[in-house]
Chain A
Amino acid sequence: MSDDILDIGGRTVANRLFIGTGKFSNYAVMNQALIEAGAEIVTVAVRRVDSASKTENILGYIPKQCFVMPNTSGARNAEEAVRIARLARAGGAGDWVKIEVIQDNKYLLPDNIETLKATEMLAKEGFKVFPYMGPDLSIARRMVDAGAAAVMPLGSPIGSNRGVKTRELIEILVKEIKIPVIVDAGLGRPSDACDCMELGCAAVLVNTAIAIAEDPAGMARAFSEAVKAGRRAYLSGIPATSPCASASSPLTGFLINSA
């Protein structure tokens, strides 16, 4: 496990639990949760950052060991996402960007077409692009062609805590897509995160379930441990399950000794 390093977007990452920074009751609580989880990658909404403010600047509360992936939350189309990404890079945020393009405020489901367009444009500009998307295989393939650093399919709608409702589609992505698959959104409990890792996802991104827990630091640690357990299980080769017992005297046993 110790040499199980995720090589992604030009970086090497040991902790496969990525954490979102919204919805916490205060920045100190967020800081504690990030430390407790041993988080290495955190995502921050560019629209929230108030770099003019000394006390209200979220970036001041992110532990030093964390790498910040800005996200384009609030963008309604590719053009807005591209503008937000450029603003973030101009502000010194580096070249990673998580693309969120949402045209739907009721379910907060992503717009795959606009997300793809933004991914194409930003990858050309040298960004390491992490598109948040509906788990669609054809779109995921196009994201790969567009130069995405990973794909981030949703487990269920943002903030819903409903778990991996898109499990079967995510399994297909894991099987077919050759860049890292990171499940983002909807993971409500550590077991959901563990499930994703057992499936072979490269990482997961969690925010709401940690931020609104009674004890966010405790929940952050629980998620971190679940992600490790799931990853270890995946690497150890999970035996296939079968709905039936396997017969101890197989019907075709007589064939073993026959020519």
Chain B
Amino acid sequence: MGFYELYSKYRNLKVPPEDSEVKSFLKLLSPEAESSMEEMAEKSRELTLRYFGRVMQLYTPMYLSNYCENKCLYCGFNSGNNIERKSLNFEEVEKEAEFISATGIRHILILTGESRQASPVNYIKDCVKILKKYFSSISIEVYALTEAEYSLLVPEGVDGLTIYQEVYDEEVYSRMHPSGPKSDYKFRLDAPERGAHSGMRSVNIGTLLGLNDWRREAFVLGLHAKYLQDNFPGVEIGVSLPRVRPQAGGFKAGCKVTDKNMVQIILALRIFLPRLGISISTRETAELRKNLIPLGVTRMSAGSTTRVGGHTISAGDGGRSVQFEISDNRTVGEIRTMLDKKGYQAVFKDWMEL
């Protein structure tokens, strides 16, 4: 049974879940649970400490290319947006790698838009070969690939896959993704499984908060994570909780997701799946990120830019060509100091290529 069948079973929540853990998860996400958030936070903090310790894994994203065939409404790389398009050449990849690795970061996340012409799998593979010299762990956040394609990248040194469904509600999904290969809902939905089958060590999924009712989306995200944990016990499953941010297309999120809502999602996920990785990116402000640390977060991006070549090449269009605007511009060193003050160790390296 693929995840789609499970999703179909729960999609309208007409029938209450039979599984008691799933039922509790639903309760933790409910409006009623808002009055118990402090108790939930205590439980979540305690679970996170036990299973992950007083540490925070840091990673930095590196954008390789922003060419894209999709028209995702919320994304700055939308093919309809008039922005400067660029793919890094190998020399530029090397320069970006040198810059990022000098900050101490050993875990890198590489990203592209969806263009099999501008950023084909072979291009990604060649970039990975360069990056291997600088980083001990390489994750990809690129367009959905086939299992055979993921299997090409794994032996080259890619050990992590990040791929967000963006929105689990099928109807909203088709509105948000009007054209391009990404409009294929099911191909994207099964991508995490294909990645897990191909031998990835970690698979990270997510829902873009703001596109749909957050309770529904967070619930399905939790189910998806549990489904992956149950079916791939050898793979580390993680989630991200990105909220829609301003970008070139000017899209505004239709559904509000407050800081309080974010916290409730983190707590509910942690209590439901105690060993789940939870990432918070620089989409969120420095202040909020600081406050979220003890509540269940296990990974943070640092020293981020969402522009192709953003670390070493100056912007030709005044910085318009970002995927989205970030809220936390601090350097890796500053994030590290903040974590230290909070009593958490920044972990730069937690894997090596074998």
Contact = CB atoms under 8 A, between A and B. Distances in A.
Interface of A: 22-27, 46-50, 53, 55-56, 74, 76, 80, 83-84, 87, 103-106, 108, 159-161, 208, 211-212
A76 B351 CA distance: 13
A80 B201 CA distance: 12
B53 A106 contact: no
Given A23-B52, A24-B54, A103-B233, A56 B348 contact: yes
Interface stretch (B88-96, B184-192, B234-242): B234-242
Nearest to B344: A25
B174 interface: no
A212 B50 CA distance: 7
B234 A104 contact: yes
Contacts of B51: 159
B53 A50 contact: no
B343 interface: yes
A161 B47 CA distance: 11
Given A50-B106, A56-B348, A74-B351, A159 B54 contact: no
Contact of A105 (B233, B344, B345, B348): B233
B233 A48 contact: no
A157 to B, nearest CB: 9
B345 A27 contact: yes
B180 interface: no
Q: Tell me the interface secondary structure of chain A in the complex.
A: loop
Contacts, number: 75
A211 B233 contact: no
B331 to A, nearest CB: 15
A211 B234 contact: no
Interface in B332-350: 340, 343-345, 347-350
Given A25-B54, A159-B51, A47 B234 contact: no
8 contacts: A23-B53, A25-B54, A50-B106, A74-B351, A76-B201, A83-B354, A87-B352, A105-B233
Given A25-B344, A56-B104, A106-B275, A160 B54 contact: no
A53 B351 CA distance: 14
A160 B51 CA distance: 7
A165 B225 CA distance: 28
B151 interface: no
A208 B54 CA distance: 10
B234 A76 contact: yes
Contacts of A55: 104
A23 B55 contact: yes
B33 interface: no
B229 A23 contact: no
B49 interface: yes
Contacts of A26: 340, 345
Interface in B54-110: 54-55, 104, 106
Contacts of B201: 74, 76
B42 to A, nearest CB: 14
A159 B50 contact: yes
Contacts of A84: 354
Nearest to B226: A106
A6 B327 CA distance: 55
Given A104-B234, A106-B229, A160-B50, A25 B345 contact: yes
Given A25-B55, A26-B340, A161-B50, 18 more contacts: A23-B55, A24-B345, A26-B345, A46-B352, A47-B350, A48-B347, A48-B349, A50-B136, A53-B104, A55-B104, A56-B348, A74-B351, A83-B354, A103-B234, A104-B233, A104-B234, A105-B233, A159-B50
B126 to A, nearest CB: 23
Nearest to A102: B234
Interface in B94-149: 104, 106, 136
Given A83-B354, A105-B229, A105-B235, A208 B50 contact: yes
A105 B354 contact: no
Chain A to chain B: the 3 pairs with minimum beta-carbon distance, closest first = A23-B53, A25-B54, A50-B349
B49 A212 contact: yes
Contacts of A103: 233-234
Given A47-B352, A53-B348, A23 B275 contact: no
B54 A48 contact: no
Contacts of B106: 50
B343 A25 contact: yes
Nearest to B354: A83
A105 B229 CA distance: 8
Contacts of A74: 201, 351
Contacts of B343: 25
A22 B104 contact: no
A30 to B, nearest CB: 9
A108 B349 CA distance: 20
B54 A23 contact: yes
A114 B259 CA distance: 45
A47 B53 CA distance: 16
Contacts of B53: 22-24, 159, 208, 211-212
